[in-house]
Amino acid sequence: MNAVELAGLTKRFGQTVAVADLTLEIAEGEIFALVGPDGAGKTTTLRMLTGIMNPTSGRGSVLGLDTVREAEAIKEQIGYMSQRFGLYSDLRVEENLHFYADIYGVARHGREEKIDQLLAFSNMKPFKKRLAGNLSGGMKQKLGLACALIHTPRVLFLDEPTNGVDPVSRRDFWRILYQLLEEGVTIVVSTAYLDEAERATRVGLLHQGRLLAVDTPHRLKRLIDGVLLEVRADRPRPAAAALRRALPGHTVNLFGDRVHVVSQVPDETRAVVTTTLAREGIALESVRPADPSLEDVFVAVLGTRGGNDHASAN
């Protein structure tokens, strides 16, 4: 059974199309990552799926329930953590959990055990008496997740939950998500971090409201048409600019201190890289084949299916 189904889901705000004709199925028991840059339509999509916002056209369902006609029934079955989850900074950690338990109608009987379980699960037990306003960014996100889980949802929607969180906290957060997955919770998470999306079961690449590709991270990497060459040079930015001029028709992008070039003829391209950088007075450290990342895939797919706006999703 599918946990989530979308058929032609579209949302317009006046003349602006935020989400365009989204058709997608998410199976029960998977982590699905919806990936794209700011303004791609991720938040709007999650708001429609959680019954907060109605689509302009098309339909969506969660656990077989229609997101418009049965929105209230859906809210009883799901957890939703928005980008700015409503923690109350003047309440203690355990008080926030009790507050959300009241909102979701969690019975008093067995509630303390459930709260203790969530605090232990998220490694927050030592901080149960601390004011939420005094928590670190990563701890606030874990508390937000615990609050979203207080009523034992079957599907969990997370809108950029690790945005602005340090790498260690991001890793810990994903470790918790994997534990939830083992317990049978379906997770739909939006993120702008493509390296993070590689941890998902499947990934949907979203740009300007349109779904460019959907598959497992491994299969998505096969969408790279050619061999990826990783170029390391002492001045990577000027090197990327020079290689774009010297290699028209190639995909050339800067990734941190490396330049990635996708080529159908890698041996010839390697020779062009060597001569071009020598002519420009740029010291070449190495040029070698490399495995593509999801960011490489996103840029490549964007170029072939989404226009020429080669924006990075990070």
Q: Is residue 301 a part of any domain in this protein?
A: no
pTM, full prediction? 0.85
Q: Is residue 33 a part of any domain in this protein?
A: yes
Q: Are residues 212 and 237 in the same domain?
A: no
Q: What is the pLDDT of residues 284-313, one digit of tens each?
A: 999 999 999 888 898 888 876 654 333 333
Q: Are residues 200 and 237 in the same domain?
A: no
Angle at 10 (CA atoms; ends 8, 12), nearest 5 degrees: 160
**d(Cα 294, Cα 88) in Å, to the nearest integer?**
36
What length does the chain have? 314
Q: Are residues 213 and 236 in the same domain?
A: no
Q: Are residues 75 and 102 in the same domain?
A: yes
Task: Indicate the number of domains in the chain.
Answer: 2
Q: Is residue 188 a part of any domain in this protein?
A: yes
Q: Are residues 166 and 229 in the same domain?
A: no
Kindly give the parts of the chain with pLDDT less than 70. Answer: 85, 304-314
Q: Are residues 38 and 182 in the same domain?
A: yes
pLDDT at 308: 39
Q: Are residues 169 and 237 in the same domain?
A: no
Query: Using an 8 Å Cβ cutoff, are 283 and 233 in contact?
Result: yes
pLDDT at 304: 67
Look up the CATH number of the domain holding residue 234. 3.30.70.270
Of 185, 200, 220, the residue that ends a domain is: 220
Look up the CATH number of the domain holding residue 78. 3.40.50.300
pLDDT at 225: 86
Structure tokens at 159: 């809108």
Q: Are residues 273 and 147 in the same domain?
A: no
Q: Is residue 19 a part of any domain in this protein?
A: yes
Q: Distance between alpha carbon 282 and the CA centroid of its chain, in Å?
A: 36
Q: Are residues 162 and 283 in the same domain?
A: no
Q: Which CA distances in Å does 289 have to 197, 231, 232, 261, 264?
A: 23, 9, 12, 9, 12
- Close Cβ partners of 251 (under 8 Å, ≥ 6 residues apart): 260, 261, 262, 299, 300, 303
Q: Are residues 210 and 118 in the same domain?
A: yes
Write out the residue range of the structural domain in which residue 242 sits: 225-291
Q: Is residue 107 a part of any domain in this protein?
A: yes
Q: Is residue 313 a part of any domain in this protein?
A: no
Query: Using an 8 Å Cβ cutoff, are 30 and 176 in contact?
Result: no
- Close Cβ partners of 56 (under 8 Å, ≥ 6 residues apart): 10, 11, 12
Q: Is residue 304 a part of any domain in this protein?
A: no
Of 190, 220, 250, the residue that ends a domain is: 220
Q: Are residues 70 and 131 in the same domain?
A: yes
Q: Are residues 153 and 96 in the same domain?
A: yes
Q: Is residue 297 a part of any domain in this protein?
A: no
Of 173, 188, 220, the residue that ends a domain is: 220
